[in-house]
């Protein structure tokens, strides 16, 4: 397969993260080994998983059996909602490393802020992530689904500032307020569900813009996100669609096309996942 090299973005630590990766949400553990192995075979070098997805062990097997050395693959995982208390965070993180067959992750995130649980104490899990960073077992640390108010708490109280903000972002929910705040703080934004869980593939505007560049609607959505500077990791069980999603760096969208895509913004109506202010499930 011929593909353009994948660009990298620099983390505040100076480490490089591939701007395109592979997502594993709702990838059944039964098929995760095959699906992730296939993605690695196609050239993906950045895998996003989470304790919640229950497929870290199969992700670990896939990269380990790929023949890649550890430094050739960027591995992210996330602290599950039931694991915010320090001892549970420490135990579950040790299990994450075991499952992923590694002694460090490239990035570890708090998965959800859970503002109505744990007395809304966002610093409690963050202090433990700082510990993992200091130990070198998480090479970068950050947060997922943190709203501007949640980020402010960390900015004001963290000893080690968060390096990455992973939030839902796609043309229907550009999520600009939290992206702007993260950018000003020097954080990298990762856009989760960059295809709006498949909706983008059927969008007539994205399809018509794509015709000009010989790109599919999905490829246009991913290119728009990466041209905004976000890191993406679309998920697909199909080899063809994994390949399609990988081939996005061989053209640039015009400024006018970028603006037309940004105008698809539906605000809250465009959200596909839970709202971080009200998501309080363990
Ligand atoms: N931090 C968080 O709270 C959070 C939340 C959600 C997601 N994430 C991360 O972000 C990743 C991506 O998000 P996501 O999996 O929710 O959604 P997504 O990547 O936006 O979309 C995945 C859906 O789109 C379909 N699809 C993929 N490529 C396609 C293409 N080229 N043409 C047509 N359809 C296509 C897939 O179906 P097929 O499999 O049939 O191709 C699947 O149904 C996750 O896997 C996970 O790693 C993080």
Distance 160 CA to ligand 1 centre (A): 31
CA of residue 127 to ligand 1 center, whole Å: 31
Both tokens of 100, joined, read: 């992923």
**pLDDT tens digits, one per residue of 130-181:** 999 999 999 999 999 999 999 999 999 999 999 999 999 999 999 999 999 9
Q: Active site residue: 44, 53, 118, 172, which one?
A: 53
Q: Going from the N-terminus, what domains does the chain have, and what CATH number goes with each?
A: 8-197+228-235 (3.20.20.100)
Helix, strand, coil proportions of the chain in percent (round to 5)?
A: 45, 15, 40
CB under 6 Å to ligand 1: residues?
23-25, 48, 111, 144-145, 166, 192-198, 201, 218, 233-238, 241, 244-245, 273
205-245 tens-digit pLDDT:
999 999 999 999 999 999 999 999 999 999 999 999 999 99
Per-residue pLDDT tens over the stretch 76-85: 999 999 999 9
Tell me the pairing of strands 188-192 and 164-168: parallel
CA distance 217 to 110: 31
Q: Is 44 one of the annotated active-site residues of the chain? A: no
**Alpha carbon 16 to chain centroid distance?**
15
Ramachandran quadrant class, 119 (left: phi over 0; alpha: psi -120 to 50; beta: rest): left
From ligand 1's centre to the CA of 217, what distance in Å?
Answer: 14
Which residue has its alpha carbon closest to ligand 1 atom 1? 144
């Amino acid at each position: 397969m011929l593909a353009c090299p994948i660009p990298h973005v620099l983390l505040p630590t100076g480490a490089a993260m591939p701007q395109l990766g592979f997502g594993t949400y709702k990838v059944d553990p039964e098929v995760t080994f095959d699906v992730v192995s296939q993605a690695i075979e196609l050239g993906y070098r950045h895998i996003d998983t989470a304790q919640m997805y229950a497929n870290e062990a199969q992700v670990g097997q896939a990269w380990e059996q790929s023949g890649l050395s550890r430094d050739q693959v960027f591995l992210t995982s996330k602290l599950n909602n039931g694991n915010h208390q320090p001892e549970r965070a420490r135990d579950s993180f040790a299990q994450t490393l075991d499952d992923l067959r590694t002694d460090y992750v490239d990035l570890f995130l708090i998965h959800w802020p859970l503002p109505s649980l744990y007395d809304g104490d966002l610093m409690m899990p963050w202090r433990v992530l700082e510990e993992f960073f200091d130990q070198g077992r998480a090479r970068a640390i950050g947060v997922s689904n943190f709203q501007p108010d949640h980020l402010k708490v960390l900015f004001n109280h963290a000893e080690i500032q968060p390096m990455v903000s992973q939030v839902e972002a796609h043309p229907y929910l550009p999520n600009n307020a939290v992206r702007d705040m993260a950018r000003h703080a020097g954080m990298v934004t990762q856009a989760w569900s960059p295809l709006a869980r498949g909706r983008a593939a059927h969008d007539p505007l994205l399809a018509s813009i794509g015709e000009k560049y010989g790109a599919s609607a999905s490829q246009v959505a991913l290119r728009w996100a990466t041209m905004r500077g976000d890191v993406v990791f679309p998920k697909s069980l199909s080899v063809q669609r994994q390949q399609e999603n990988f081939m996005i760096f061989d053209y640039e969208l015009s400024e006018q096309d970028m603006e037309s895509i940004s105008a698809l913004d539906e605000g809250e109506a465009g959200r596909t996942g839970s709202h971080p202010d009200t998501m309080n499930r363990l």
